Amino acid sequence: MDRHRERRIAIVGSFSTGKTTLGEELAHHLDLPLLPETAREVVDLGFKLDKNATPETEALIFLKQYNNELSTSDFVGDRSLVDVMAYAGWVLDNQPRCKETALWDECVKLAERRLRSNYTHVFYLPIEFPIVLDGLRPDDPEFQKEIDERVIRILRSHDIEYDTLTGSVENRMEQISKILTAG
């Protein structure tokens, strides 16, 4: 493998699609750091997520993700700014607009400058498996589907090139290997 070529790999998709499992395997295989899950860090600080989140919480998650992605030239991220924007978009679309929403508006402006060029590879994982409850994700297939649709809309509206991966972790790793070898 060419160690001189930068690798900034984002794995995107809704919750319970295998992003973390694949991210851990890929980071190990490529000997790259796996970025921390910012949403879990924010929960550990006592903030509420998803349907109970606030604009301030979404801005904090965005800024932590943004900072994590800037902290190293090479990484595998099982979350990305794309995912953060999908979740935050849902949260803010389902709440009345308030003055604190201006915090999120500024985050979107930052993202729009970087999204197209921030990643060398983006791998999208569609919904294929039943939701695995982990104490953080909701057991709501409709919410999962809506986040999935938002991820796809963000990828397309920002003209972000991505590859869709399906199947088991082994199948997905084979697909990634072919893509990275061809690239």
Q: What is the pLDDT of residues 14-61, one digit of tens each?
A: 999 999 999 999 999 999 999 998 988 898 999 888 777 889 999 999
Q: Which single residue is written with the structure tokens 């800037």?
A: 70
C-alpha span between 78 and 175 (Å, rounded): 17
Mean pLDDT over residues 116-132, rounded? 92
- Give the separation between CA 8 and CA 77, rounded to whole angstroms: 8
Residue 131 covered by a domain: yes
pLDDT at position 116: 75
**pTM of the predicted model, to two decimals?**
0.91
Q: How many domains does the chain have?
A: 1
Residue 36 in domain: yes
SS (H, E, C) 59-73: HHHHHHHHHHHHCCC
- 3: in domain: no
Q: Is residue 35 part of a domain?
A: yes
Residue 125 placed within a domain:
yes
Structural domain boundaries enclosing 131: 8-182
Instruction: Judge contact between 151 and 90, C-beta under 8 A.
Output: no
Q: Decide if pLDDT at 1 tops 70.
A: no
Write the CATH number for 119.
Answer: 3.40.50.300
Q: How many CA atoms lie within 13 A of 61 on its CB side?
A: 31
Q: Does 1 reside within a domain? A: no
What local confidence, expressed as pLDDT, does residue 96 receive?
A: 86
Q: In the structure, how many helices (H) and strands (E) does the chain have?
A: 7, 4
**Could you report the per-residue pLDDT of 131-181, keeping only the tens digit for each?**
988 777 778 999 999 999 999 999 999 999 999 999 999 999 999 999 999
Tell me, yes or no, whether 16 lies in a domain: yes
With respect to residue 2, please indicate whether it lies within any of the assigned structural domains. no
